[in-house]
Structure formats: C-alpha cells, structure tokens
Amino acid sequence: MVELAGERVEFGARDVWRSPSPLSGTIHLPQRPFELDCGLNLPEVQVAYEIVGPSNAPVVAVLGGISATRFVAGGIDNSAARPKGWWSDLCGPGQALDSNRYRILSWDFLGGNGATTGPRSSEYAGKTFLDITTGDQARVLAELLPILGISSLHALVGASYGGMIALAFGARFPNLVKRLLVISAAHRSAPLAVAWRTIQRQIVSFGLSENRGGEALALARALGMATYRTPDEFAQRFGGTRLDAHDPDSFPIWDYLRARGEDYVKHMDPHAFLCLSRSIDLHEADPQKICVPTTVVAVRQDQLVPLALLEELADAHAGSCELQVIDSLYGHDAFLKEPTFFSRLLRCL
C-alpha cells in the first residue's frame, strides 16, 4: 500500500486525500549553460515553482497568460505571503481541477515578471532580456519535472501564452504528457495580433528610452485591453459623453482602459512585458509533430486568436484533436470570465 501525503477523507463513494500545504520554492536547472532557441545561452536558470496536492496524485501543469504567476490554485493557504491564485475559482480543493485529487503544478515564466530568471533578476535588472521562445519555456518544464520526481504529466492545461507553451511542449516532449488542453492559443500568431503587440512594445520601448517606462507600459496595457475583449462588451458597458468637461479625452471607455493600465504597472516589469510579448510573436509549433491527444478551445469572438487559425491547428494535428468552439462576450479573456464552461471542461481531465 502506498502512503499518500495528507489526510484521508470521505468524498461521495470514493476515498480521496486532502491536499497538504503547497510546495513552493526555487531551484536551478541542471543544464548549464541553458541553451536558447535564439542561439545564445544563459549561464544558469533559476525556476520558481509551486505544486499543490497529494504527493502521489496525477500531476496537471497549468499555465496562463504572460501576466500569470506560479500561484494558480485558491483555498489552500491563507497567509498574506502567498497571493491569491489567478485561477482560484477553478483550481483548488473541491474545485473543478481539484487539488484533493490532482497535484497542480505551475512556475513563473523564464524571462517573465516572477522569481524565475528574467529581467527582474539582479544580474539583468533594467536590461533588455534575451529572446525567449515557447520552446525554451517547454524545455524549462521538461527539466523541472525530474527534479520534482515527476515522470510525466497527466495533463498540461494552457490558456493564451500558456496554451502556446503547451503546444510547444507537446511537439518536443510527447513522452512527458498524456493530454493537452489548449485554450485560446494557436500554433502561430495571427498577423493582426502581431501588429497590435508590436505597437505595444514600441510604446514601451520609447517610454523606457525617456525614463518613463511605467507610463508607457500603462498605455500599452490599455491598448491590449481593447484587443482582449469584444466590441459588443464595450458597446454594452460604455457610452455617453465625456465625464469631465475639462478633460478632452475623459470618455467612459478611456476611463476604464486607463485604470486597467495603471493597475497593471503595479505588478508588471516593462522589460518582462517586452520579453514575453515578443515571445508570443516568435511562437511556432508544428501541428504535424503533435501527436498527444489534444482538446483545443476557440472563442468565436476572440480578436487575437481567430477561429480559422485554430481550425487550421486542429486539421493539421498529427493525433487525436477535438476543437470546441464557444461564444463569449469576453473574447480572449473568456478563460478568466466563463467559469461555468471551463469548470465542466476541467472536470473531464
């Protein structure tokens, strides 16, 4: 009999194991130097990770957009030191992705805003970071698993940027994952989305050159929010005349976008934004090399990831691939705003 970590409790007709406290920390990957797809390398890579759930339960890795952190699950730690999980309404004890039944793994992205090696690391602070691809992120995961004693993943769930990493991982390391769930992410970026993100990066780069990186990032985020959501949502929520006769641009929609931008600057480093935004546009994963069973979720109203691109992905996929199409007023942000649908989906893993 295998002894599991945690306390056994009755749940319906089956025994399950209550999740122990999350394991969280930083480790150094064994590959030194860490070779990047761009042809350059990093002397070493430190990875900040968190894993929640019984020690012998199947492992599900969960990745979100470029702003997501290693803290995914909710309801597991009430200490002020741990932020609320970014998918806490779907992941955690008793949730759709139940940390009593699965181990939920995530990590801060390489080149990103967290404690993994990136622009916020002391040796790179204030500098332009090297080009990082989704393939590089996939290799981080492949090296992280054996260090944590994990032979393979039960599933890899990725939304937005995380979905791109899931596709890259499936193409490069099919023996390390049994199933992919890819949400609002394709095998390559759409040209119009690349255009929008390039404009955002140019805004941030110009701001940094003028020592106004925070202000520039706020503007870039405001532009980004206009692409994440849908015209119908904005039409329903915003209208009317200016809020302040003394401010020529005080339209309700701008008041909202400006607030979102100002809030973003509080927790995102401009150089990390540049690195991961560019990583999205560098992304390529050959669907013909992905044989892992995959479920792809497309949002019909998504302005960043067109349905036609996801249909192309599903058609070219080398293995079993199911395409599910939903309608959402929230567009690209549907995975954060449609808990009923995604709860049903995660319960099927």
Q: How many CB atoms lie within 10 A of CB 215?
A: 17
Provide mean pLDDT across the span 254-278. Answer: 97
Tokens of 103: 């181990």
The pLDDT value recorded for residue 45 is 97
Q: Half-sphere exposure of 156 toward its Cβ, with a 13 Å CA cutoff?
A: 29
Average pLDDT over every residue of 294-323: 98
Note the pLDDT of residue 79.
59
Give the model's pLDDT for residue 81: 73
Please name the helix (run of DSSP H) or strand (run of DSSP E) that holds residue 148, with its range, or none. Answer: none
232 labelled catalytic = no
**Residue 241: its pLDDT value, please?**
86
Q: Among residues 187, 283, 317, 332, which one is catalytic?
A: 332
pLDDT at 6: 37
Q: For residue 324, give the 3-state DSSP assignment.
A: strand
**Does the model's pTM come out above 0.85?**
yes
Query: What's the rounded Cα separation, in Å, for the pair 263 and 275?
Result: 20
pLDDT of residue 3: 29
Mean pLDDT of 267-292: 98
Fold designation for 192-279: Rna Polymerase Sigma Factor; Chain: A (1.10.1740)
- 112 neighbors 275 (Cβ within 8 angstroms): yes
* Active-site residue (options: 160, 189, 277, 279): 160
Is the CA virtual torsion 76, 78, 81, 86 positive or negative? positive
| pLDDT tens per residue, range 174-218 | 999 999 999 999 999 999 999 999 999 999 999 999 999 999 999
Q: Where are the domains of the chain?
A: 19-190+286-346, 192-279
Per-residue pLDDT band at 318 (split at 50, 70, 90): very high
Residue 22, preceding peptide bond in cis (omega within 30° of 0): no
Average pLDDT over residues 121-146: 95
99 is catalytic: no
Whether residue 283 lies in the annotated active site: no
Nearest to 196 by CA among 306, 281, 300: 281
- 19-190+286-346 belongs to CATH 3.40.640.10: no
pLDDT surpasses 80 at 148: yes
| Catalytic member of 77, 108, 269, 302 | 302
3-state secondary structure (DSSP) of residue 207: helix
pLDDT recorded at residue 127: 86
pLDDT digits (tens, 9 = 90+) for 67-124: 999 999 998 765 557 888 999 999 999 999 999 999 999 999 999 999 999 999 989 9
- What percent of the chain stands above pLDDT 90? 85
H helices of the chain, in order, are 134-147, 161-172, 191-209, 213-228, 231-237, 252-265, 270-282, 307-316, 334-337, 339-346
Tell me the β-bridge partners of 51: 23, 105
Q: Return the biggest CA–CA distance within the chain.
A: 73
Query: Are residues 279 and 112 in contact, defined by beta-carbon separation less than 8 angstroms?
Result: no
Whose tokens are 């040796």? That residue is 123
Identical topology for domains 19-190+286-346 and 192-279: no
| Secondary structure class of 5 (helix, strand, coil) | coil
Q: 152: pLDDT confidence band, cut at 50, 70 and 90?
A: very high
Residue pair 143/172 in contact (Cβ under 8 Å)? The answer is: no
